[in-house]
Structures are given as C-alpha cells and as structure tokens.
Structure 1
C-alpha cells in the first residue's frame, strides 16, 4: 500500500528516476528519445527538483510504500493568475498506473491550497490517458499553448482547468 506524503530531499534520486522512466514511457513515441532526454535533463535534474522542494506556496508530494516511490506530484500557486494553482507534475510509474495512486496524489494536492479557486494543468494533446484522467477528475479545456512547461519547449499542450470552490 502506498501513502501520500510530503517529499523531502532524500527522495529526489528516486523521483528523478521515476520521472525519467515515466517520461520515456509516455513521450518517446510523440517526441523521440533525444527530445525526452533533453527535457528530462533540464526539467528533472536534482537541482530542478530541489528548487521545487524549496518553492514558497507550493506542495511536492510522493506516493511511498516504505521501499519505493511509485508516484509524485507538484503544484504551486500561480505567479500570474489570481487564486489559481498550477499542477505542474503528476506522474506514476507505468507498472503502478491505474491503481489509484494518481487519484490519491491528486486528491492531496487539490486540498493543499485553501485560497485557490481553480487549478490548471497543461496536457500534451496526444496523451489520451492523461486527458481522460483529468477530465474524469472535473477538469475542462480552457485554452492551449505552443510551448508547454517553458517558452522554449516547443511542446504543444491543452490547458485544462477545474474549479476548486
């Protein structure tokens, strides 16, 4: 059984490995191994993950069974959108997907921001499993972007939003 808890610095090596495995399983067929390696090196380095741990108005959680971390999530209050939480990451190792771990991580993150009125997430349009997950959890499409994650990614995404109040 996995329990959701706040991440710590001692988790970052496992979280980085989880992100690399999950990203390759999900995105290699869309972008190719080289692009996934590039993005993973930039976005999922230990330094990048440490910065998330230290970020104010943010929550970084993991699903842990005492031996292994099966999933992770990171959300933060938006710097640009009033009363909006941005769900930056929600990933579960492929072998543990469809077992409720993503649901449990999301449920925790959804309650961490009492001042937020809405939550947003960016999802690759071809990632049908993720789109189905978020829509099943009350998200609706509100916009799109040509550069998910940062202005240099070149990755298109749908922007989904859920009312929290």
Structure 2
C-alpha cells in the first residue's frame, strides 16, 4: 500500500469509495435515502474536482496498485496554522489494516507549518472516534451542522495540537 496525491483519473474510484463507505457507515443512522442525498451532494465528481483544484489543500489516496483503498482531503487556514481534515475514509473491507493512519500521517506531513489539525465526526461513529482518539485527537466542541451548509447533522469537533 502506498499513499500518493490524487489525480483527475482517480475521481470516479474515489466517489465509489465514498458512496460505499458512507452507506456502510451511515445507512443505519440516517437511512439509505438521506445517505444517497448526502453522497450525491457532498461527493459528486464536481465537488471532488473542486477539492482537487483547491489551493492550500492536500488530496491523497491509498493505492495498492490494483484499487484505491482509502482517501483523505484536508485544507489549511489562518496562514497554514490550522488544518481542517474534511475527509478520511477507508473502504469497509480494508479498515483496521493501518491505512487510515498512513493517510493521516501523509496529510499531517503535507502541512509542515501547521500547529493543529481539526475534524468533525458523527457522535455515533464510535469506531472513527476511537481511531482519532488513538491518533491524539481530543474533543473541543460540537456542531449541529456537520459538513457543508446547514446540514442539520450533528458532529463532534476533534483537534490534535502539534508540538
């Protein structure tokens, strides 16, 4: 498994990974229709392409030479001091193999001036919360509008401070 920068040709496979992972993780919480609505909006090829082209951002994939097993996207703010990890997903059948940690390490290494990294996570996603806590993240707050706009989706805000 190697981590590399995502390219335009990866976007359909990344979208497939996101849709698969979201349905596996969130259908039981939000229902199939809501998850489909979210993935069609948040993970469309248009949105993924915009992420790929975003300045002060890093978009990486975990690639085993056959398929993309995971992806991560993050961007920097306040002169590179704060990194927001918007996405870190690993295919359900590849979770627990260290891929998430490899993706997170690559994201962190991509922002050498960063003082902290933040993310939002669904409060009921115990597996993701345990992963992030094991990576040194702590809860610093909550939001009722995870992701884009006024989603109405609650989330914990986690942060890891460097140094």
Task: Please tell me the TM-score bracket, short chain as reference.
Answer: over 0.9
* RMSD, matched Cα: 1.2
Matched, 1:139 2:128: no
**2:160 corresponds to which residue?**
162
**2:41 corresponds to which residue?**
42
C-alpha displacement at 1:150, in angstroms?
1.9
C-alpha displacement at 1:82, in angstroms?
7.0
TM-score between the two structures when normalised by the length of structure 1: 0.96
- Say which SS state the counterpart of residue 98 (structure 1) adopts: coil
**2:101 corresponds to which residue?**
103
Change (3 A) 1:74 1:14: same
Distance (Å, rounded) in 2 between the aligned partners of 1:14 and 1:31 = 24
Deviations 1:101-143 (A, max 9, x none): 0110011001111121000010000000000000000000000
**1:57 corresponds to which residue?**
56
**1:75 corresponds to which residue?**
74
CA contact (8 A) 2:42 2:148 kept: no
C-alpha displacement at 1:78, in angstroms?
2.7
**1:32 corresponds to which residue?**
31
Deviations 1:35-71 (A, max 9, x none): 1001100010101000000000000000011110000
**2:115 corresponds to which residue?**
117
CA contact (8 A) 2:63 2:69 kept: yes
Aligned residues: 163
**1:3 corresponds to which residue?**
2
- Gaps in structure 1 of 5+ consecutive residues: none
- Say which SS state the counterpart of residue 161 (structure 1) adopts: strand
Q: What aligned pairs does 1:79-90 form with structure 2 within 5 A after superposition? A: 83-90=81-88
Distance (Å, rounded) in 2 between the aligned partners of 1:130 and 1:110 = 18
CA contact (8 A) 2:83 2:111 kept: yes
Distance (Å, rounded) in 2 between the aligned partners of 1:154 and 1:37 = 16
